[in-house]
Amino acid sequence: MSALLEVEGLSKSYPVMERRLFRARQRTEIRAVDGVSFSIAAGQTLGLVGESGCGKTTTARAILNLVQPTEGMVRFEGDDIVPIFRQGDRARILAIRRSLQYVFQDPWLSLNPRWTIGETLREPLRVHRPEAPRTWTARVDELLRMVGLEPHHAWRYPHEFSGGQRQRVGIARALAVEPKLLILDEPVSSLDVSVRAQILNLLAELQDRLRLAYLYISHDLSSVRFISTHVAVMYLGKLVEIGEVDEIFSRPRHHYTRALMSAIPVPRPGAAQTRIALQGEVPSALRRPSGCPFHPRCVAALPVCAEIEPMLPPAEAGHRTACHNPA
């Protein structure tokens, strides 16, 4: 199956400035994302997981050029889109934006409180479909029904909706221009548990109906297992393991992945559960450990782990692990 989105060696660094009296100079840099590579095919979902601050959201924003990548390649339908954004070709950028859409974590902050829901859903149509304003009202009604709302909701404001309903509006807005891939950044983390299930079911239904591809970012491993076909595990800006969802959850090979999986609650009272407790804290991105970034916290670290950084095998390997001593 050919890839819809291919990311190769994607990196994003931020300078750390040192100020001295009347001037400032760069002292060092923070490498928030470091050489990330993966691919997503049409109709597939890649779940991107890891602790807070590991670089998941920065990866997503770099793909869409919401932050400009420092290095790497992002190919969409075979074309490298990073140079297109750098050249500022408006027509081609709009075409990319139509195909790649973003659903934000907090639906309250991502919706304009001064706009009705109808105005919110008409805005992407105004930008991307200005030639057919007479069709906008019908399209807004269609979008609302698509996400489980009613056409009369178009006259309401965001504060008149629950959190789950606001997230449905955010999804409808992303679908307005008929994208091929959605980046879902913690789309259910701010919702109640029962509402999370409804939104996840909606996303799965929309994917089947529209053959969408998803990049699903979350630290909620249960939702990742439900919706994903593949999973990539991120630690300190790097991918440490990637593979099909059943392989990752049933036979994790990286010791960081094993610790994450051991923290998933078992929904059976009295069931035995072996929790792997990681020692210490995540290292500072300013002072990265030598070798494998996880070796100071790893129970299976070898002397080579402190000296040589392990690399992910090529994509042909299937279930891939960046580890000198995998489980």
Instruction: State the pTM of this model.
Output: 0.92
Q: Give the pLDDT band (50/70/90) at residue 18.
A: confident
Distance (Å) of CA 30 to CA 56, 191, 288:
15, 32, 9
Measured between its terminal Cα atoms, the distance across the chain in Å is 29
Query: Residue 274: is its pLDDT beyond 90?
Result: no
Share of the chain above pLDDT 90, in %: 70
Query: Any idea which of 119-128, 267-276, 298-307 has the lowest mean pLDDT?
Result: 267-276
Return the SS3 of 80: strand
Q: What is the pLDDT of residue 26?
A: 65
Q: Cα-Cα-Cα-Cα dihedral of 259, 261, 265, 269, to 10°?
A: -90
Q: What is the pLDDT of residue 269?
A: 64
The Cα 25–Cα 17 span in angstroms is 6
pLDDT digits (tens, 9 = 90+) for 190-215: 888 889 999 999 999 999 999 999 99
Residue recorded with tokens 């100020």: 19
Query: Which residue has better confidence, 21 or 313?
Result: 313
Read off the pLDDT of each residue in 254-281 and give the average, rounded to a whole number: 77
Return the SS3 of 294: coil
Query: Residue 218: is its pLDDT beyond 90?
Result: yes
DSSP bridge partners of 73:
8
**Cβ-Cβ contacts under 8 Å for 64 (sequence gap 6 or more):** 97, 100, 102, 183
pLDDT digits (tens, 9 = 90+) for 129-172: 888 888 999 999 999 999 999 999 999 999 999 999 999 999 99
Q: What is the pLDDT of residue 176?
A: 95
Give 276's DSSP letter. Answer: -
Q: What is the pLDDT of residue 181?
A: 97
The helix (H) or strand (E) run that includes residue 49 is strand 45-49
Of 65, 57, 64, 169, the C-alpha closest to 112 is 169
Q: DSSP states of 307-320 as a string? A: TS---PPPGGGSSE
Report all structural domains of the chain as residue ranges with CATH numbers, in order of start.
5-253 (3.40.50.300)
pLDDT digits (tens, 9 = 90+) for 284-324: 878 888 999 999 999 889 999 999 999 998 877 689 999 99
The Cα 200–Cα 206 span in angstroms is 10
CA 286 to chain centre: 23
Q: What is the pLDDT of residue 22?
A: 67
Share of the chain above pLDDT 70, in %: 95
- Is the CB of residue 85 less than 8 Å from the CB of residue 65? yes
Read off the pLDDT of each residue in 163-189 and give the average, rounded to a whole number: 95
Query: Which residue has better confidence, 169 or 220?
Result: 169
pLDDT digits (tens, 9 = 90+) for 43-81: 999 999 998 889 999 999 999 999 999 999 999 999 999
